[in-house]
Amino acid sequence: MELCDLTIHELREKLETNEVTAEEVLDSFLRRIEAVEEKVRAYVTITADEARERVSGELKGSLAGIPLAVKDNISTEGIRTTSSSKMLENYIPPYNATVVEKLDEAGAVILGKTNMDEFAMGGTTGFSAFHETRNPWNLEHVPGGSSGGSAAAVAAGEAAAALGSDTGGSIRQPAAFCGLVGLKPTYGTVSRYGLLAYAGSLDQIGPITRDIEDAALLLNVISGHDSRDSSSVRQEQTDYTAFLQEDLSGMRIALPKEYYELDYNPEVKESVLAAVKKMEAEGAIVEEVSLPSIEYSVAIYYILATGEASSSLARYDGVRYGYRSKEAANVTEMFKNTRSEAFGEEVKRRILFGTHVLSAGSYEEYYVKAQKIRTLLIKEFEEIFKNYDLIVTPTTPETAFKAGSITAPLESYKMDAFTVPVNLAGIPAITLPCGFSSANLPIGIQLMGPRFGEGKIIQAAYSLEKLLQLENKRPELEVR
Amino acid sequence: MLEKKDIERLADMASMKISASEADKFAGQLNEILQYVEKIKEVDTEGVMPTLYPVSLENVFREDKVEPSLAREKVLANAPEEKDGQFRVPRIMGE
């Protein structure tokens, strides 16, 4: 394995003992990018010069000299931030997102901004206005979305780890499709200041990494209260790496029957259940439970998320930044032309649906109703967590599918069934690889925890990771 | 069920312009989604409060103290059109 195939903690060790220099580490990643990026296309913007400049100086901190990638909906001062949309194709933020400030303070080196579905709306990265990203495990297949670029970059060795964002599964699903670890923290744990909003009551930033230890390391850096994000919570500074213990004895695991009774890829189901059996053998107690509101979660997610999105995206009007249509006789025409010319189809579709569910005559029937069902779902999760430490499910009903194979909107929305309940409830969840399909595509297992229960899911995931020993598997990419 | 004219009205509300064929296509797709979400009506939500945010925060205030904000040049740096330190837009009146 080359330097660019190693984890953050492995690289740290080599850097701390001066076995390698930060320049050598960076070089390894830049060479890998040069070799595979033409095929993988994980990045929108690569900041090689800035990265070289950075490693020429002394770097201090828990991530000193570690090359990372950042999803392109997270603001980076002086570096183009596009949300993979024509609307922001040339937008250069005048400030850093809080998480970027924290990465900088920790000495990390940013390699570039990764590709995504436009404005985080999608599950393939195919809705990027610029180009498609492909899955390093099989270049004919999607990496997932909306953080597909981040996941593909890490899987291909084009970054040691990456930041993504997750509103309905956008960290976890691509992480699962690309054989990686993906963590969506409890809502409020990581500041959203500087994250280009999609749905404010659902969005969270989180890490996509090669193993659980790296996810805990990154979470330590990016988490914390931020007065600039009024939805961020004050909590005691937690060292998430303290939970990297191999101990499953007595852990109570709930399997929601509504997930396991559904009809989906049997290889996925078998792989997940086999992993659960391994946990049981180590002393975990596994029982079946019921989460009846899961049935409605995709429906309420699409009502709430699109409603919030129609509001979040109202700011893109061509006035202060971003794209502005050339032809406009007056300002109203400018708004309409700008938004019609610069938003992609999926974004328009969700804005229209969101506008509908928020409009007079529909608001009570859809939006408020969905908010009430959300309350019921939260209560159901709380009840389960009174008696159980974790809920375990497959992360997705399917492995990474072929690019261009899913075309109907509703069909793709339903694929989010396993991930959206987590965002609705605001609870933390982690995905890690638990096996591979007969087509050698990764399968992800998802561990959900109670609110602020990152410690429990990290410990369980770490223990499972050590039992499965899949974290060193890398895709065989033809390196030019 | 939504018709083409409903989509056109929604697009107007959302300050977007869509073509007749787009309106047709969106109507079909939105109706499919609406049909799928109909099932939320069967849930009994009598007496249930709506959830706005999945975190129990109320009235997050700060001290009413003036603090430095963003410098004007930075604010204007991405302006498509700028004049005299202001954002310039096409005329607002007389449409």
* Confidence check: pLDDT of A171 > 90: yes
Q: What is the pLDDT of residue A247?
A: 97
Quick: pLDDT tens for A295-316: 999 999 999 999 999 999 999 9
Q: Mean per-residue pLDDT for A307-335?
A: 96
CA A110/CA A107 separation, integer angstroms: 10
Query: Pick the catalytic residue: A128, A170, A297, A310?
Result: A170
Do strands A252-256 and A390-394 pair parallel, antiparallel, or not at all (unpaired)? parallel
Q: Counting Cβ atoms within 10 Å, is residue A58 exposed (0-12), middle (13-18) or buried (19+)?
A: exposed
Positive or negative torsion for Cα A265, A165, A290, B52 = negative
Q: Do the chains contact at B16 and A410, CB–CB below 8 Å?
A: no
Domain annotation for chain A: domains and CATH numbers = 3-254+384-468 (3.90.1300.10)
Distance (Å) from the alpha carbon of B57 to chain A's nearest alpha carbon:
7
CA A473/CA B43 separation, integer angstroms: 45
Amino acid identity for residue A33 in this structure: I
Q: In sequence order, what are the residues at sequence separation of 6 or more whose Cβ sits closer than 8 angstroms to the Cβ of residue B5?
A: none
Centroid of chain to Cα A220 = 17
Q: What is the pLDDT of residue A408?
A: 83
> Tokens 């990419």 identify what position?
A477
What are A245's two structure tokens?
């213990």
Contact A263, A444 (CB under 8 A): no
* Confidence check: pLDDT of B95 > 80: no
Q: Do the chains contact at A426 and B55, CB–CB below 8 Å?
A: yes
Domain assignment of residue B38, yes or no? yes
Positive or negative torsion for Cα A60, A64, A65, A70 = negative
CA A468/CA B87 separation, integer angstroms: 57
Q: Mean per-residue pLDDT for B40-67?
A: 93
Among A38, A134, A37, A44, residue whose Cα is nearest residue A89: A44
Chain A residue whose CA is closest to B50: A372
Contact A430, A458 (CB under 8 A): yes
Could you give the residue ranges of the DSSP H alpha helices within A282-325? Answer: 297-312
Q: Do the chains contact at B90 and A374, CB–CB below 8 Å?
A: no
Q: What is the pLDDT of residue A479?
A: 63
CATH number at residue B34: 1.10.20
A163 vs A100, A207, A367, CA distance in Å? 10, 5, 30
* Confidence check: pLDDT of B94 > 80: no
Domain assignment of residue B28, yes or no? yes
Domain assignment of residue B88, yes or no? no
* Confidence check: pLDDT of A480 > 70: no
Q: What is the pLDDT of residue A411?
A: 81
Q: What is the pLDDT of residue A149?
A: 98
Q: Mean per-residue pLDDT for A432-445?
A: 97
What total of structural domains would you count in chain B?
1
The angle at the Cα of A220, spanning A20 to B55, to the nearest 5 degrees, equals 155
Domain assignment of residue B33, yes or no? yes
Beta strands in A337-458 (DSSP E): 390-394, 429-436, 442-448
CA A152/CA A168 separation, integer angstroms: 19
Please report, rounded to a whole number, the percentage of residues in chain A having pLDDT higher than 90. 94
3-state DSSP call for residue A166? Answer: strand
Q: Which domain holds residue B5?
A: 1-42
Chain A contact present for B1, CB below 8 A:
no
For residue B16, list chain A residues with Cβ-Cβ distance below 8 A: 336, 339-340, 343, 348, 351-352
Quick: pLDDT tens for A389-421: 999 999 999 999 999 887 788 888 888 999 999
A400 vs A304, A349, A410, CA distance in Å? 26, 24, 18
pTM of the model: 0.97
* Confidence check: pLDDT of A90 > 90: yes
Chain A contact present for B65, CB below 8 A:
no
The angle at the Cα of A266, spanning A407 to A461, to the nearest 5 degrees, equals 95
**Dihedral, CA of residue A421, residue A281, residue A398 and residue A387, to nearest 10:** -10
- Report chain A's mean pLDDT, rounded to a whole number: 96
Please report, rounded to a whole number, the percentage of residues in chain B having pLDDT higher than 70. 98
A227 annotated active-site: no
Judged by CB atoms within 8 Å, which residues 28-57 of B form the interface with A? 29-30, 32-33, 36-37, 39-41, 43, 45, 48-55, 57
Q: Mean per-residue pLDDT for A99-125?
A: 98
Nearest to A355 among B10, B37, B91 (CB): B10
Range scoring the smallest mean pLDDT among A258-267, A271-280, A344-353, B74-83: A258-267
The angle at the Cα of A219, spanning A214 to A222, to the nearest 5 degrees, equals 125
Chain A residue whose CA is closest to B82: A320
CA A428/CA A240 separation, integer angstroms: 13
Measure the N-to-C terminal CA separation of chain A; round to a whole number of Å: 16
Quick: pLDDT tens for A186-240: 999 999 999 999 999 999 999 999 999 999 999 999 999 999 999 999 988 899 9
Q: What is the pLDDT of residue A35?
A: 97
CA A74/CA B54 separation, integer angstroms: 22
Chain A residue whose CA is closest to B6: A356
A146 annotated active-site: yes
Quick: pLDDT tens for A449-465: 999 999 999 999 999 99
Q: Counting Cβ atoms within 10 Å, is residue A445 exposed (0-12), middle (13-18) or buried (19+)?
A: buried
Do strands A252-256 and A161-166 pair parallel, antiparallel, or not at all (unpaired)? unpaired
A71 annotated active-site: yes
Domain assignment of residue B32, yes or no? yes
Nearest to B90 among A314, A334, A353 (CB): A334
Domain assignment of residue B2, yes or no? yes
Q: Do the chains contact at B78 and A91, CB–CB below 8 Å?
A: yes
